[in-house]
Amino acid sequence: MTLERKVAQAFRLTDDNWMKHANPWSVWTRYSVLPLIVLAFWSRVWIGWWSMIPGIVSLLWMFFNPVFFAKPKSTRNWASKSVLGERVYLNRDKIEIPHVHKTPLYSILNIISSAGMLIAIWAIVYYSIWGAVLGVSLAYLGKSWYLDRMVWLYEMMKSENEEYRKWDY
């Protein structure tokens, strides 16, 4: 079982929920999570322990966002294809992906994104605006580039697999 499949299970991504997560609103609003978390926990200076409320709400939004929206009217957009590509990638233990996608680049992009997250956490602790901007920027750079590669993977795989082709509407 791939790590991605374990994460998908934690977020309750069934077939129906994957399609809900493929809604562009789900993808784009999920980009709001990290800045909201940074702001929520940074606000502990201004509002003390009350900062836990927006922090917890932000974390809950991260968890429930993939299933919050309806299935998209169309999956022929970058955001939807990025999610469908993630689904193809996590399924690589069952359906072979092209050799060009068996690359350490995906791990490197996840490392860049994770490093950004760690810098953002450090910035929260030490109230560093530049650290927060750098951390969030790195996290989003890594994640966005990774999602772009997932669009490419999906575009390649939908022509080779009937199940994947059905997701394209």
Residue-level pLDDT, tens digit, the chain, 169 residues:
667 777 777 777 788 889 999 999 999 999 999 999 999 988 888 899 898 999 899 999 988 998 899 999 999 999 999 999 999 999 998 999 999 999 999 999 999 999 999 999 999 999 999 999 999 999 999 999 999 999 999 999 999 999 999 999 9
**78 neighbors 151 (Cβ within 8 angstroms):** yes
Residue with tokens 């790590």: 3
**10 neighbors 59 (Cβ within 8 angstroms):** no
- The total of other beta-carbon atoms located within 10 Å of residue 28's CB is 10
- End-to-end CA gap in the chain: 29
Tokens for 121, please give them: 């956490």
Its pTM stands at 0.87
pLDDT at residue 127, rounded to an integer: 92
pLDDT at residue 165, rounded to an integer: 94
pLDDT at residue 11, rounded to an integer: 74
Q: DSSP for 143-160, please give it.
A: HHHHHHHHHHHHHHHHTT
**102 neighbors 8 (Cβ within 8 angstroms):** no
**What are the sequence ranges of the domains in the chain?**
3-166
